[in-house]
A and B are shown apart, each in its own frame.
Chain A
Amino acid sequence: MDALIIEATDETPKVVMDKGANEFMFAGKSLPEDVSSFYEPILNWLDSYAEAPNDSTKFIFDFVYFNTASSKIILDILFKLEELKESGNDTTIVWKYKEEDEDMEEAGEEYSEIVDVPFEMVSY
């Protein structure tokens, strides 16, 4: 399966979806004008990945900032990871945030209350 790698811009995060290297990550800012078109290939990639996933999947969310439209899509992605976990995959979400960033910490907590996947909250 081909890896999906997207470099960060000032309005979209770096994306790594690499089954071979077993690396799954978002890092940076997300405030694109059209969230659907940016995230659609990622959601599709995850659908294909779910058909033949690795034994375990550790998904890193290392956002510095995201707008409300992105927060909805992030939930959609988390729901896909929840399905993955429910199908028997050992799925973990790593939610990274700057220690002093209360709102990013709270966002992670809120998602972890909505989605039934183990969350590791990691401050730096």
Chain B
Amino acid sequence: MSSLEKTDIRVGTNYMHFVYKFHEAMVQQKLSLVYEGEVNQSITKIFAAMTENKMEESEDDLTTKKRVYHVMVECLQNICKHADELETGEPEIPGSGIIMVGRDQNLYTITTGNVVSNDKIDAISAVLSKVNSLEKDELKKFYKEKLRENKISDKGGAGLGFIDIVKKTGNPVEFHFEKLNDLTSFFVLKSSVNRGR
């Protein structure tokens, strides 16, 4: 990739080659949807609906389909509301990021990535590590506690998204922070939904 980064791949045979490699990478990773760019409320609805339509024909049961839809909505609304600017670490309105949906025999994976201010890393890591560590019953209890306690923030979130994703999917999330500069990092979050048929 390093040679590609240095050249403008949008010209000539490099680009043509890149398209093939990109296609190949998506097939290898079993990705059925990749989007990179601005994420606002209409994009959220469009992608959630697209996922819903794509799954409509699949043999997955209703609960699986609704979990994938739910994780998409929560992750996309997180990007809308909480993505930060690369250079300053200040809130980016509307947010932007990447979303990838993959599917294999047993799992759907929904992966998102967006820039966050380094100040947020500890808080995000703490809540994700906590929900990943909880057993099913403890998670239910924790969710009910937070559902009672939390208030709707001025950004319109209830601080329940991460907890609810792990609770509903029954799978821990994977996460990673790629340092970009002194102020910001790229936050990657991967959620998995078991396929039930």
Q: Which residues of A contact B (CB under 8 A)?
A: 10-11, 31-36, 65, 67-69, 71-73, 75, 98, 100-104, 110, 113-114
Residues on A with beta carbons closer than 8 Å to the beta carbon of B151: 72
Q: Which residues of B contact A (CB under 8 A)?
A: 41, 44-45, 48-49, 61-63, 66-67, 69-70, 73-74, 77, 80, 140, 143-144, 147-148, 150-152, 156-158, 160-161, 164, 168
Q: Given the complex of chains A and B, what is the CA–CA distance between A111 and B182 in angstroms?
A: 43
Pick the 6 closest A-B CB pairs, nearest first. A72-B158, A68-B160, A33-B41, A69-B158, A100-B62, A102-B63
Q: Given the complex of chains A and B, what is the CA–CA distance between A33 and B154 in angstroms?
A: 12
Q: Given the complex of chains A and B, what is the CA–CA distance between A40 and B41 in angstroms?
A: 20
Among B41, B69, B160, contact of A72 (Cβ-Cβ < 8 Å): B160
Q: Is the CB of B62 within 8 A of A75?
A: no
Apart from A11-B41, A33-B41, A68-B158: 18 A-B pairs, beta carbons within 8 A: A31-B45, A31-B77, A35-B156, A35-B158, A67-B77, A68-B74, A68-B157, A68-B164, A69-B77, A69-B152, A69-B156, A69-B157, A72-B147, A72-B151, A101-B62, A102-B63, A103-B168, A110-B147
Q: Is the CB of A33 within 8 A of B156?
A: yes
Q: Report the minimum CB–CB distance from A59 to chain B (whole Å).
A: 19
A-B contact count (CB 8 A): 74
Interface of B is mostly: helix
Among A10, A71, A103, A113, contact of B66 (Cβ-Cβ < 8 Å): A103
Among A36, A101, A110, contact of B63 (Cβ-Cβ < 8 Å): A101
Q: Given the complex of chains A and B, what is the CA–CA distance between A72 and B151 in angstroms?
A: 8
Q: Is the CB of B66 within 8 A of A101?
A: yes
Among B66, B148, B152, B157, contact of A65 (Cβ-Cβ < 8 Å): B66
Q: Is the CB of B69 within 8 A of A65?
A: yes
Q: Is the CB of A71 within 8 A of B74?
A: no
Among A31, A32, A68, A103, contact of B67 (Cβ-Cβ < 8 Å): A103
Q: Given the complex of chains A and B, what is the CA–CA distance between A35 and B41 in angstroms?
A: 12
Q: Report the minimum CB–CB distance from A77 to chain B (whole Å).
A: 13
Q: Is the CB of B150 within 8 A of A72?
A: yes
Residues on A with beta carbons closer than 8 Å to the beta carbon of B70: 65, 67, 103
Q: List 21 A-B contacts (CB under 8 A).
A: A11-B41, A31-B44, A32-B41, A33-B80, A35-B156, A36-B156, A65-B66, A67-B70, A67-B73, A67-B74, A68-B74, A68-B160, A69-B77, A69-B158, A71-B147, A71-B160, A71-B164, A72-B150, A75-B148, A103-B70, A113-B144
Q: Report the minimum CB–CB distance from B43 to chain A (whole Å).
A: 11
